[in-house]
A and B are shown apart, each in its own frame.
Chain A
Amino acid sequence: MRRKDTTTDRKSGCVLRELEELLLSKFYDGECSFFERWQVRSLLKKKRAAGEFLEVLGEGSRQYGELLSSRVEERVPEEGRWEEVVRRIEEEERASQFLGNRVLDADGRGEESVFWRFFHLPTLLSREFMGAFACSAIVIVGAQASLPYLFRGDQSIDAQQFVDTQAGEVRRVQQQVPQRQVAEVRRTPELQPSSIVPVDLVSSVPISGRVGAPLTSENFDSNSFDALFSPAPNPSFSSLRRAPASVYRGSRPQRITAQREVQAPVEVDWIRSDGRVRMLGNSLTGAPTLFVKKRVLMRREASQVGKVSSPGSSSARSNPSGIVLQERTLPAAAFAK
C-alpha cells in the first residue's frame, strides 16, 4: 500500500528517494561535485519536495546550531574564555617550533575551483569513479598481458638482429686475433688480456657422486649442453646435493655458481604441536627426523605439582591458575630393561 502511495507521490514530485535525499544533503553541506550540482538543479526543477527538503535541512541546521552554541556557552564561562584563548595560542606557538607554522584552511573549501571540487575525496570515492577506475584497471591489465603477443613479430625481429650483432662481434674478435697470437697467449698465461681468454678445457663437476667426463672442443656438442647438469641415472633423493659447476678457463679454474634446485628429504606444509618441534640432523640428507619437546613452562609447573601430588593420581591436573598440567605419558615400566 505504502509502495503504491510512494509511486504516485513520485509521479507528482512529492516524495524523494533516499538517494535523492542524500544528494540534497551533500548539496546543502557544499560537498557536491559539478555533476552532482547539475543533478540537484534538475531535481529542484522536477520535484517540489526537493526544495522543501532543503528548507527543512536549513531549519534543522539553524536549530541545531543554536543548541550547540548554547551548550558551548554553558561549558565555557565568559570569564574563562580569554585564558583559554591565550593557552591555545601558547600551545600553538610551542607546536610551531617543532612542526612549523600551520595554515588555516578550514574555510578555503568554499572558494575552491570547479576543478578541485570535481576531484575532491568524496567524489573520487563515489561509485561512478570507483567503477570507472576498476574498468580502467581491467583494461590496462588486459592490454599489458596482450602486449607481448601484440608485438611478438617485432620482438622476434629485434632478437634476430641482436643475435646477428653478437655473432658479428664474435667474428670480429676472431678476425682481430691471429692464430699465432692466440697460441702465444696460451703458452704464457701472464700475457693473457682480460678481454680475450682462450678456453682450453671445459669440465663438468661431479654431481651427486658422478664424475663428469671432461669436455673438449672435439667432443663438445652444443645441442646437448644440458648433459653437463643431468643427474646420475636413478639417483636417490638422499644423494642429491646443491653442486656448483666449475669451468676451467686457461690454467686458472673459475667457479661459477650454477646451482640446481634439489628436492629436500622432507618438506613440511604446516606443523602444529603442543610442544616445541625441531629438525634433527642435516635436513638435506638421510631420513627426516623430528623431535618434539614439551614446553619448558609446562614441565616446570608439572614438577612443582608433582611434589605436592600423591602417586597414583590422575595424569592431568589443574594448578591454582587453572592451567591443565600433564604428567608423563608412559609408565616407567615401559622403559625397563
Chain B
Amino acid sequence: MKNSYTTPFFSLLLLFLSGYGGLSFGVSPAFAQSVGNRQVQLRIRFVGAHGIRQREEGARFSPEISDLQEKLLRFPYRDFRLIDRKLTTVPVAKRTELPLAHGHSLAVRTVHVSEQRVGMWLKWTGGDGMEILDSRLHFTAQEPLLTGFEVEGDRGIILILEVRQEG
C-alpha cells in the first residue's frame, strides 16, 4: 500500500534526478555533443531579385543559383541574381554574426542539429537597421531555408541558408 501511494512521487523524483544527473555528469552523450564543441557548416547566398513576373512568363537566374530555380519561383520576381555568398563554419549553440552585402547582417545561433533536423535562431538586419526577421525555427537539414524581403514593389532580396552537419 505504501508503494502505491509513493509511486508517482518517486517517479517524478527519479525523473528529475535522472535528467539532472544526465545533464550534469554526461550520461547523455548525444546531448552533450550537440551543445559541446560541434560545428555546422553554413552556406549563405544573398540574391537580388527584380521585376514582377507575369503569368506564364519565365524567370532568369544567374548560373550560381541555378540549383534553386524551382524554389526561387515561389517569389513573384522575374530576374534573380546572386549578390553575395558565404561558406562558413559556425559552432553549435554560439552566436555568430555574419556581415552581408550592402550593410545587411545575419546573426545566427544553432540550437540543435542532427542529420535530419536543424534548430536555429536567426536575426537578419537590414542595411538601415531594420529588423527584417528575428526568429527561432526548426527545419529540414537537407533543404535550404529561403527568406525573401520586399525592398520595393518590384524589387526584393532573398537570403538562402543551408546548414550541413560537419564531420
Contacts and interface: CB of A to CB of B under 8 A. Distances in A.
A330 B3 CA distance: 69
Contacts of A272: 131, 133-135
A62 interface: no
Given A267-B137, A329-B103, A145 B8 contact: yes
A237 B79 contact: no
B137 A288 contact: yes
A327 interface: yes
Interface string B131-167: 1111111111011111111111001010000000000
A236 B142 contact: yes
A270 B135 contact: yes
Contact of B104 (A142, A266, A329): A329
A150 interface: yes
Interface string A266-277: 111111111101
Contacts of B137: 266-269, 271, 288
Nearest to A237: B140
A329 B127 CA distance: 6
B4 A334 contact: no
A216 interface: no
B102 to A, nearest CB: 5
B7 interface: yes
A288 B7 contact: no
A269 B139 contact: no
Contacts of B74: 280-281, 289
Nearest to B140: A237
A266 B122 CA distance: 14
Given A327-B128, A330-B127, A335-B48, A275 B149 contact: yes
Interface string B62-86: 0000000001001100010101000
B91 interface: no
A274 B146 contact: no
Contacts of B128: 315-316, 326-327, 329
Contacts of A293: 150
A284 to B, nearest CB: 11
B4 A149 contact: yes
Nearest to B150: A293
Interface in A249-287: 263, 265-275, 277, 280-281, 286-287
Q: What class of interface size applies to chain A in its complex with B?
A: 35 or more
Contacts of B25: none
A334 B4 CA distance: 72
Interface string A288-308: 111111100000000000000
Contacts of A71: none
A263 to B, nearest CB: 8
A316 B127 CA distance: 11
A160 interface: no
B143 A290 contact: no
A330 B48 contact: yes
B102 A331 contact: yes
A61 interface: no
B43 interface: no
Given A290-B147, A291-B148, A328-B151, A334 B48 contact: yes
A271 B134 contact: yes
Contacts of A102: none
A330 B104 CA distance: 9
Nearest to A328: B151
10 contacts: A146-B4, A149-B3, A150-B1, A272-B135, A281-B74, A287-B145, A289-B148, A326-B126, A335-B81, A337-B79
Interface of A: 142, 145-146, 149-150, 152, 236-238, 263, 265-275, 277, 280-281, 286-294, 315-316, 326-331, 334-335, 337
Interface of B: 1, 3-5, 7-9, 48-50, 71, 74-75, 79, 81, 83, 101-104, 116-117, 126-140, 142-152, 155, 157
